[in-house]
Structure 1
Amino acid sequence: MSMAEKTYLGCLMKADYLIKDTIIQPQQLESTIHQEIMRSMLELSQKGKNTDLITLSTLPILSSIGGVSYLAELQSYAEVEKFDELEEIIMDSWKEREKRNILKIAGLNDWEIARVITELDKINQVTLNDHSSIQDSLLAVYHSPWEDQEEVKTATTGIQSLDTLTGGFQDGEVTIVAARPSMGKTDVMLHFAKAAGWTGYIPVIFSLEMPEKLITSRLIASTGSYNRTKLRNPKKMLNDQQKNKWAEVIGNISETNIQIFDAAGQRVSEMRAKTRKIMHQFPNKKPIILIDYLTLIQANQQYAGNSHNQVTEISRNLKTMAKDLNCPVVCLAQLNRSVESRSNKRPMMSDIRESGSVEQDADVILFLYRDQYYDKKSNDPSLEIIVSKNRNGPVGNIKVKYNVHTGLIESFTENELAEIGN
């Protein structure tokens, strides 16, 4: 029998809080005795009982799960600090067994290759238990009329007027941030990441185009108000005053706990798995997922150049990930060139590449627009954030101050807004 499974079950006995947090299901264990032990533990946990050796040894099915001696042996293998690693090993072993099974069935039934790929990908996107009875759901709200409403904590956007419109980034919701290239999308995403990080979320950035070094450099530039070009050679180009605050800037960014993944062409299923791993590292904090950008995400199937179907699959998977992980997902998107041929260059929904499914699946759609982008002589430092779709609130436009040299985004004061004529 698998040593990983024995050690895993030993951990569940030794630290019984782990049974509530594990991503493994009993049927994913290879040994039928191990499956039976884990099912018993889940039943005990659901009744509010411990899953330790003493409680397990009182079960009527004790003899069929190896008796006290086998349970004691399992507990002796426990290495709680390796629990995440063990989950991964067990999940990988289960996936391999499932994949071999699918290939066997596919061979016997002469499946087409596309179907085989789809089925194999489904295994990579294993969803956890989504069942809840109406009784459980009603029990959760039974006392609502007599209880103070618990304040829902959402990830702030770091822009007060945008928070007022959208209520911040809601758990389980997808926000699309769309703009033409070089309009400021990445800087806006990093602003959102820092704001969420400083208020207790764990920002998980999937940068499919820009390497981690460049992301880090941009975070330093915007946080410390350093001109980006100077960071190519900080020793030579920063003055003493800028060097003196360097350590403080680095410390501030470190406090955001931003996690960066910069492999190109990642699938949503990979992002989900990596985010789950981060969630285990920070069990008391919720993630916010930020992706740069939509059409660089790899689809599960090859759509033979049909980008509409590809984007449809990806946008649906983003929504599923947001719901399953119950966290906000913010995804950047490029706008097509059609905006350039209009006299009013403020973006519209149809400017999003393959916009139909994105418009349907996203909960919030933000467009970015800068006058300065089209009129190089303009002194207007504002970046307009156009809330074009907002499932839970109003739409509207807001302006923020944007420094193209440092990437810093700040709210305007009322006097400054009056000056630029908003």
Structure 2
Amino acid sequence: MPTLEQFADRLGRSTEATAPARTQAHNQDRAAEPRFRAPPHNVEAEQALLGAILVNNDAFDRVSDFLKAQHFSEELHRRIFDVASQLIRAGKIATPITLKTFLGEHDLGGMTIPQYLARLAAEATTIINAEDYGRTIHDLAVRRDLILIGEDIVNGAYDAPISARPRDQIEEAERKLYSVAETGRYDGGFQRFSDALAIAVDMAAKAWERDGRLSGIATGLSDLDRMLGGLQASDLVIIAGRPGMGKTALATNIAFNIAKAYESRPRPDGSHETVNGGIVGFFSLEMSAEQLATRIIAEQAAVPSYKIRRGDIAEAEFHRVAEAARDMQTIPFYIDQTGGISIAQLTARARRLKRQRGLDLLVVDYLQLLSASRSRSENRVQELTEITTGLKALSKELNVPIVALSQLSRQVENRDDKRPQLSDLRESGSIEQDADVVMFVYREEYYLKNKQPREGSEEFLTWQAEMEHVHGRAEVIIGKQRHGPTGTVELAFEAEMTRFSNLAREEDLPARL
């Protein structure tokens, strides 16, 4: 079996001599020359694996999940592995005889390709070591990718144009690093059902210990929690509605309730495990952080937000605002108010938050304000498909629920019954397809208020009775849920405070005398 140096020499490349006997003078001359390090590679491991595959094609099945042709350092080895994999996947046999037809006749400096294939098969190791060799090749390829990313970072920092921001380069570097981390995993494939069963039982045990007996994170709205079982890890939850329905208010209320309820306990390794509530990351692409904070303060202090903005508040109200702000100082609620970011930037920032501070819930307000990382020439439907697919993949990767808000199309306004449906989701069917839960926010009061008839008429009395019935009420329509029922949940809504809360029911009130 030719070694790396022999193989390189036969291809006409010059490499460092490997003879151990060198004169002292030669060593001193070599020390004075600049040293160039070769990227990490292991040609012998590549030869051993390829030989094992050629002798017994079952060796390919042991590495096909994680090993690709581009992971090999030698171009010839990449070609051999690629052709062999195509033959095996087509149900054919990959041997030196069948491969040589597709590799052609090339002189490797005294050795032809058929001879090289025969040597690989003749000196192959057993199939038992195939996976270990495959992992070695894979890990070295990942290291080479890291070196290339490092070179790009250095060159990009040196040659950056005036308009380039360092933050953009950092986010691009993070995206590449996490891309390598994601493709560098070989722990997938089948697992024993008993392992999955243990995880399910553990989840049920934690739900028993948690407040409300929920398997997911409690939203603070008990009727909604009963339908959803809380917000489940790795779920993509869509909250959709027409403008003015209160979808941002609902997302803000849920996010703050979760952050306010946060409790943790230390693990043996010094990190902290969430016991109740959670750490919340909120991407506010529409509102500024100050506007979002004003909404939350208005909700917590029970002071209308427009009064806070104008400064038109009484002394008692000001004390409530100050007390609410003081209580909110310590909650784990993090806001990113950058507008117009791409799904790649959002992903990088969410990963960073998870790594640095922890993360239990991610909120995106709202989907249509995100941009895709691909070319702008593509239509919006394709762009939104990339966004929703990226959010679903991120929720699984970080193992946290992601709540994303979405606009609805105007066709809702053309119907007599303006309750939204799944078909009203704007611009793409991918939202419905990728989401685990789709919820619509609907307030009859919003539409009825605009239909006020002439005061004093019979229609006015009917309208007034209807307004009294729907005043302060909102419906959350669960149009899709993968692991639970669909239906409607009624909530109380205080428009001035932009606050959703549990609706007091007649049967829950104390008996009247």
Q: Which residue of 1 aligns with 2:218?
A: 156
Residue in structure 1 matched with residue 384 of structure 2 by the alignment: 311
**1:283-303 residue CA offsets vs partner (Å, 9 max, x unmatched):** 4xx331100101111101125
Q: Secondary structure at the match of 1:158?
A: coil
The answer for unaligned runs of 5 or more in structure 2 is 1-36, 43-144, 156-171, 208-214, 263-277, 453-466
Give the corresponding residue for 1:97: 151
Tell me if 1:279 matches 2:334.
no
Structural mapping, 1:123-138, within 5 Å: 123=176, 126=179, 127-128=181-182, 130-132=185-187
- Residue 348 of structure 2 aligns to a residue whose secondary structure is helix
Residue equivalent to 1:369: 442
Which residue pairs with 2:477 in the alignment? 386
**Matched letter for residue 97 of structure 1:** E
Residue matched to 1:205:
282
**DSSP 3-state at the match of 1:150:** helix
Equivalent residues, number: 314
Distance 2:420 2:197 in 1: 45
Structure 2 SS opposite 1:256: coil
Tell me the alpha carbon deviations over residues 373-422 of structure 1, each in whole angstroms, 9 at most, x when there is no partner.
1111534211110000000100000111111111111101122899xxxx
Q: CA deviation at 1:154?
A: 2.2
Q: 1:130 offset after TM fit, Å?
A: 4.4
1:99 Cα deviation after fit: 8.0
- Alignment partner for residue 291 of structure 2, among 186, 189, 214? 214
* Residues 247-256 or 185-194, more deviating: 247-256
For the 8 Å contact 1:366–1:389, the answer to whether it is kept is: yes
CA distance change for structure 1 residues 233 and 394 in 2, over 3 Å: closer, same or farther?
Answer: same
> CA separation of 1:231/1:142 partners in 2, compared to 1, >3 Å: closer, same or farther?
closer
Aligned to 2:245, the other structure's residue is in SS state coil
Match of 2:319 among 214, 225, 244: 244
Q: 2:339 aligns with which of 264, 273, 292?
A: 264
Task: Look up the match of 1:165.
Answer: 227
Instruction: Name the CA shift for 1:320/1:260 in 2 (closer, same or farther; >3 Å).
Output: same
Shift in alpha-carbon separation, 1:142–1:154, aligned structure 2, 3 A: closer
Work out the percentage of aligned pairs sharing the same amino acid: 28
SS at match of 2:429: helix
Tell me the C-alpha RMSD between the 2 structures: 3.4
Contact 2:443 2:474 in 1 (8 A): yes
**TM-score normalized with structure 2 length:** 0.55
SS across alignment from 1:394: coil
The answer (yes or no) to whether the contact 1:121–1:300 under 8 Å persists in 2 is no
Match of 1:59? none
1:195 to 252, 257, 264: 257
User: Does the CA-based 8 Å contact 1:388-1:395 persist in structure 2?
Assistant: yes
Equivalents in 2 of 1:290, 1:297: separation in Å? Answer: 13
1:358 equivalent among 408, 431, 456: 431
* Aligned residue among 322, 328, 340 for 1:253: 328
Using the alignment, how far apart are the partners of 1:143 and 1:390 within structure 2? 24
Matches of 1:383 and 1:92 in 2, distance apart? 52
Work out which of the two has the higher radius of gyration on C-alpha atoms and give 1 or 2: 2
Give the letter aligned to residue 132 of structure 1: D
Deviation for aligned residue 1:157: 1.7
Equivalent in the alignment of 1:330 = 403
8 Å CA contact retained: 2:361, 2:402: yes
Higher relative contact order, chain-length normalized (CA < 8 Å, sep 6+): 1
Q: Secondary structure at the match of 1:265?
A: coil
SS in 2 for 1:347: coil
Can you give the 5+ residue segments of structure 1 that lack an aligned partner in the other structure? 1-30, 37-90, 102-118
User: CA 1:291–1:141 in 2, change beyond 3 Å: closer, same or farther?
Assistant: closer
Tell me, yes or no, if the aligned pair for 1:315 and 1:357 is still in contact at 8 Å. yes
Partner of 1:227: 304
